[in-house]
Structure 1
């Protein structure tokens, strides 16, 4: 999608306040759960407009042990992604079914998300200079880093939001990944050995999996699962220290 274009130092892939936020994405929900599985744009502080019936919104996670304390909300439109079945409810760029790579060459990924007190996951496809592909998935339900020798191989990492605290002001966070540094974990001995053992136990000893092990090249796709509220996804040449435009910051209601 973007590989042939000149790419600035910061590229915003998703912004919930755009006229058509999902223009580059496909959206998928669980048709068997119409009241619980849906994707909907709403104002984070209201929340309005309400989704169509029979969809039923859940509330964000509390900021402290007092369940009534929801913390600061954003005075902006955000994307609400909700479902008890994570793998069937998600947005994806490029759209599902496309063989085209996203083609963004930036090594840093940033995602602004609100903790809804439910399990949540997102993943990003990465490609090295040798065109070897891998998938990095981050999940709140994952306990330890794990590697699955699938095609493409999957690096599954644990993810946790800041815990509830009297000093916590909001359940909004910005998750930052250094994709280039994470490529090395696909060939980490501590992950490879148990991955091979599981593969052999599953009768896949004869299969050959090409693991990314060269310098980072680009992102092939991005996929964000339920359950969360999403404000923005962007890629940059530097990490959290890079100066970003004012509109990429989080602004709470007064």
Structure 2
């Protein structure tokens, strides 16, 4: 896990993305690939394209200034980095750039000013790119690695995410596997723990039987009580713990106070 892909765009979540990406790149001794997307506006009723052209020109000017500022910052950071410029739609641009990425750094839903729609962006990218996505809150600065909570539903997406992120989990001081049992799990948390132990990653396991509380609330409560630094979870799981994007994952992207690492 060496290639970290960062979405660059002058929005309210950029500083959180940048600081998380820098911390992850340093920790993994990796390479930071910055993709600066000049986003094409979509205006309803703009039949002759005049309004869209004006907005695109403003967007290009804004991103040019953003690039100048960030390249100056990156020049003073202790990471190896590269930069590419793209004009288009953010999800498609990131997915195309992600072919050789090991980890993609985005936001969860932006709380301060919700443009672009990062919840939808993260949802599309994690499914299409098939790479782990880091989705950080827009008010978070940096990415702590010490305490990793794996929200386990026993489905293939959770297992694939955990396997892809072994190098990241190896940097944690403590790892906990948390499961709300619902009978739909295909792989037990003990099996996940055994897998990680073969990579010299030792975990604790906590299982709850609670058929009344929403799964995202169970995860959030466990993360807070255990003082997690981030939550790792599979997306599009079939069990109660990991519903489709209409349920648990979408709510986690909307409300989580913790950085998320999502995989499909």
- TM-score with structure 1 length normalisation? 0.33
Richer in strand (by share): 1
- TM-score with structure 2 length normalisation? 0.32
